[in-house]
Amino acid sequence: MNIFKQLFGSNNTAETAKQRLRFVLIHDRAEIPPGLLELIKDDIITALSHRVPVDREGVVVQFEQHNNESRVLVDVPLLVLNGERKSVRRKA
C-alpha cells in the first residue's frame, strides 16, 4: 500500500483531506479539542506507570462516537519482564 501510494498517490491529497476532515469533525462534534487526547494520554501513562511498566511509545488514545455514545479508547501495551507485550484495553 505504501509503495502504491508513493508511486501513484503522491498527488492523492483528496484522501489526505478526507482523513483530516474526518478526524477534525469527530472532535468538533464532540466539543473535545484534539490536543486534549495527548494530555489524557500523558495522564494515563503517568497513572499506570505507578503500578505497571508501560510501553510509552505504543500507547494509543482514540476518541469514538457511535449512536449518540461517545467513548475514549485507550490501548496501553505493557512492558513485561520476559520481554513480551501484553495489551490492556479499557473503555472510559
Q: Is residue 36 a contact point for another protein (CB under 8 A)?
A: yes
What's the closest the beta carbon of residue 85 comes to another protein, in angstroms? 26
- Judged by CB under 8 A, the residue of 1, 2, 4, 35 near another protein is 35
Note whether 7 and 31 are within 8 A (CB): no
d(CA 69, CA 9): 35
d(CA 82, CA 52): 14
What's the closest the beta carbon of residue 9 comes to another protein, in angstroms? 12
d(CA 28, CA 46): 27
For residue 11, give the 3-state DSSP assignment: coil
Q: Give 91's strand partners.
A: 73
What's the closest the beta carbon of residue 64 comes to another protein, in angstroms? 16
> Which range binds another protein by CB under 8 A, 23-31, 41-49, 65-73, 77-85?
23-31
Instruction: Give the footprint of another protein on this chain (CB under 8 A).
Output: 11, 13-14, 16-17, 20-21, 23-24, 28, 31, 33-36, 38-39
